[in-house]
Structure 1
Amino acid sequence: MSSLKGKVALVTGASSGIGAETARYFASLGCYLSLSGRNEANLKTVAEECQQNGLPKDKILLIPADLGEEEDVKKVADKTIEYFGSLDVLVNNAGVVHPASIETFTLEKFDKTFDVNVRAPLQLTHLLRPHLIKTKGAIVNVSSVYGIMAFPGMIPYCMSKTALDSLTQNSTHDLAPHGVRVNSVNPGVIKTPVFKRSGMSDERYEQFLKLCERTHAMGRPGTVDEVAKVIAFLASDDSSYVTGELITIDGGKYLLTVMTPENKE
């Protein structure tokens, strides 16, 4: 993936989890970085780690932002182009989880979920489209296996990831004639802080990870580096003929669940 060296990538949700590891891995490949996240302290730590991976400090732009806010989304796009002058890769990774079933959901939970998980990627894709067309760049949307299958008590989240996959496939048709590729990665359960941020207790989280031994064909949850490497592949010229794909990185969870219904959570 040497083609990423010297390219400019915007990674949202880069202050933790998959976004932070994607930033670190991109840095090791020599990719210049615009990093957005809500936690400014964590974002600075990630930037330091990117420097340790060989990326000069002046090739890292930090933009603290809440992508649930329309003006913050615009700020991320504007500042990225203002600083670097161009864009080669957009990684729409920022996401939130607000657990709810059909009995417990609220419109507030729905709106907060869709604002970050769907509206922000749509807005960024729209705003940055002209710059990605100039560079014949790539977009990678970080979706979820729960965009293509059901999960109890997570209606807003599952719906938002299905919508994000639709954005991937529909924007593919619009952007492919301009040489811009758009793909999604759809991870299974990955060890990240997102579940605890949603209100899951430490005990429940450990039980959730233990359950992965039964619900994932590979018998374990995934790790952030396993997702980051696929994101980098899709962002690089190594995937030059890949577009409009929803790539599951789920240790066989989707197939196992479909084939053996008794393994459902």
Structure 2
Amino acid sequence: MTAVASRLAVVTGGTAGIGLAAAAALARDGWRVMACSRRPPDAAQMPEGIEPVSCDVADPGSVEALAERVSRHEAPLVAVINSAGMALPRAPFLESTEEQMQRIFEVNTFGTIRVLRALLPLMGSGGTVVNLSSTLAARPRPGSALYASSKGAVERFSTALASEVADRGIRVHVIAPALVRSEIWLRAGMADTDYEALLTARGREFPLGRVGEPEDVAELIRYMVSDQAAWMTGNLIQVDGGAMLR
């Protein structure tokens, strides 16, 4: 296996939320990390060992530019974590717009597929892909039809991809978190005060008594891309505080 210090991980959505927590965890382990975002911060604002990179997963040209940058990197590509995503304000499906339908699948579903189509040719044997889904894909709540279906498509794609690339020694996993503290819901139009109230109220619904933190998911990602998980592929793992028990 390649030494961790000479491995490259690409994390989309890697400058906030779960993506940032995963990027930071891998950097602490010695990985070289590219954290991709539409509006990346300056490197000085990021944890040590993380290189912020501009990339919009909904833009084919931007993803091609990312692949070109990865191809020129001195470290081999060993892990891709697809954490980039978006949400919509919760509302009945029949109130959704054509623009909302197009956008959420363009980012959540086709963004994941587009990144992997560009980066998988650069990945050698022993590489790992981790795609982020949501427990809403398995158990949708009212008002989440578009978001849940965009993530459900990621799950089915990931299972099919795992079977296709196994003979190359590449592993593919899906992690489906329940509600995790993240900026994605604020970007969906929820006010700060409403968001904190949601976290408090929803936290009481979980058997473990709280909503998730980005680090709860990042630690699983850290394991899934490690050599300790070398005999695992095609898995869908829920990180949900026990939510699926109810």
Superposed displacement of residue 80, structure 1:
1.5
The count of aligned residue pairs is 244
TM-score (norm 1): 0.87
Partner residue, 1:24: 24
**Superposition pairs for residues 214-229 of structure 1, below 5 Å?**
214-229=204-219
Distance (Å, rounded) in 2 between the aligned partners of 1:21 and 1:101: 32
- Asked if 1:96 corresponds to 2:60, the answer is no
Trace 1:163-178 onto structure 2 (pairs within 5 A): 163-178=153-168
- Structure 1, unaligned stretches of length 5 or more? 257-265
Contact kept? 1:16, 1:42, Cα under 8 Å: no
Give 1:1-150 correspondences, 5 Å limit.
4-41=4-41, 45-46=45-46, 49=47, 51=48, 55=49, 60-84=50-74, 86-99=76-89, 100-132=91-123, 134-150=124-140
TM-score (normalizing by structure 2): 0.93
C-alpha displacement of 1:43:
6.3
Question: What displacement does 1:3 show?
Answer: 6.1
Check the 8 A contact 2:92/2:143 in 1, yes or no. Answer: yes
Structure 2, gaps ≥5 residues long: none
Shift of 1:23: 1.0
Identity across matched positions, percent: 28
Identify if the C-alpha distance between structure 1 residues 245 and 62 changes in structure 2 by more than 3 Å, giving closer, same or farther: same
What SS class does the counterpart of residue 89 from structure 1 fall into?
A: strand
C-alpha RMSD of the superposition: 1.8
- Tell me what 1:231 maps to: 221
Q: Which moved more, 1:36-45 or 1:136-145?
A: 36-45
Are 1:188 and 2:209 counterparts?
no
| Residue identity matched to 1:106 | T
* d(CA) in 1 for partners of 2:5, 2:141: 39
Give runs of ≥4 in structure 1 deviating > 6 Å. none
Going from structure 1 to structure 2, the CA distance change for 1:3 and 1:244 (only over 3 Å counts) comes to: farther
Q: State the match for 1:246 in structure 2.
A: 236
Q: Distance in 2 between matches of 1:220 and 1:42?
A: 33
197 and 44 in structure 1: CA distance in 2 versus 1, 3 angstrom threshold: farther
